[in-house]
Homo-oligomer: A and B are copies of this chain.
Amino acid sequence: MAKTDVLTLAILGILETSPLHGYQIRKQLGGELGPFRALSYGSLYPALKRMVGEGLIGADAPEESTRGSRRSKISYRLTDAGKARLHEELANAGTSSWEDDAFDVRFSMFDRTDSVTRLRILEGRRTRLAQRLEDAGLNLRRVRERQDGYTAELHRHGLETVEREVEWLDRLIDEERSALGGKPSSAGADN
């Protein structure tokens, strides 16, 4: 199975709804708070080019006609191969750790993801965060020992942020579970 990097996935996702120019893609990606808040054209255009080469997307340059040399707007759209890849990814969504970067992108496509996969993604993320929390907890003693109040405060705030995200995930997981018809399960108990 071909591997799909996060940017590719995000582009596939954003183009599924409708064809867009590179410029528009960037704007829409920039709207999210996520990893592509400030994606540069130096990343975007080469990526689009590559994806065209791989057959995932098609580039529609409107009317090269009347031999105007003017390089003009190009509309990118998903090809069938692109759709196939996207749906493969949508059904797939590993629990592997690289998924951490992709979480936002995956989440933003939840409306096109089946609920079992959604649950898998949410739980994967939760597990990784809980692990991080645990690792950080082991350092807490050490941090307190070298007492520097500011460092401790930074650490505390970091932990708090992650804890809150775990709570958020727990809420979402519960919602997914009950929507799935199951009993809510004792989420949040193992923390």
- Give me the interface of A with B, judged by CB distance under 8 Å: 31-34, 37, 104, 107-108, 110-111, 132, 136, 139, 142-143, 148-151, 153-155, 157-159, 161-162, 164-165, 168, 172
Q: A165 contacts which chain B residues (CB < 8 A)?
A: 157, 161
A33 touches B155 (CB 8 A): yes
Q: Are A151 and B33 in contact (CB under 8 A)?
A: no
The count of identical subunits is 2
Task: Name the residue of chain B whose CB is nearest to the CB of A133.
Answer: B33
B32 contacts A155, C-beta separation under 8 Å: yes
Whether B111 contacts A32 by the Cβ 8 Å rule is: no
Decide if B108 touches A159 in the complex (CB within 8 Å): no
CB distance B107 to A139 under 8 Å?
A: no
A105's nearest neighbour on chain B, judged by CB, is: B154
Residues of B within 8 Å of A107, CB to CB, are 150-151, 154
